[in-house]
Amino acid sequence: MTASPRLTGFARSRFSPVLFDENHVMSQGDVDSLLDAARLAPSAGNSQPWSFIVGRRGDDVHQRLVCHLARSSASWAPSASLLVANMSQRFVEGSTFEYSEFAQYDLGQAVAHLTFQTHALGLAVHQFRAFDRDAIAVEFGVPPHWEVTTMAAIGSPVGAAETHVGSGTSRERRAANDVTWARVMDPDEGQ
């Protein structure tokens, strides 16, 4: 892939690890900074449709999250220093009215902001869906107007990006002009 020379190191080097250092411990202060980055993300009308279940490896919340991982994620995710279940508010409490048209979009943004902060700490994030959504909702008393949308494993990756191929999906991206629906290019303008 050729990428813009102006692209940040974060965008160039980010990847989703499948092997984490089991000896790395994340401090409470580092966890605080990840949650701060998420809660400061923008959202439609400042609706902030997010909440987080946060387990550090070895604590009670972590153990209860690990119990509800699918087999595929149970093989690697527990070794991360931190597991986070990312929740979006889908409905207004006690109703079937959508809370925000952008609840999932904005949760995605918040987790991306958490990801930037993770990289600023020299760590990395792997998001996944291989968990029992209903079981986690029961385990943590999540009410029906909220959804446990995704999970994230966060920690210190072991080895180079190329060695983290365990998730089975390609890391290739569509070409730049294949993600541009409409754009005027000026052939006389340099980069």
Min separation Cβ 140 and its own copies, Å:
5
- In the complex, least distance from residue 112 CB atom to its own copies, rounded to whole angstroms: 3
- AA letter at 66: V
> Helix (H, G, I), strand (E, B), or coil: what is residue 40?
coil
Cβ of residue 84: shortest distance to its own copies, in angstroms?
10
Task: Please tell me the distance from the alpha carbon of residue 130 to that of residue 72, in angstroms, as a whole number.
Answer: 7
DSSP letter, residue 109: H
Shortest spacing between CB 97 and its own copies, in angstroms: 17
Q: Is the Cβ of residue 79 or residue 124 nearer to its own copies in the bound state?
A: 124
Can you say whether the dihedral through the CA atoms of 114, 112, 54, 162 is positive or negative?
negative
To the nearest 10°, report the CA torsion of 89, 93, 95, 97: -40
Decide whether 20 or 52 has the Cβ nearer to its own copies: 52
Closest to its own copies by CB, 79 vs 108, is 108
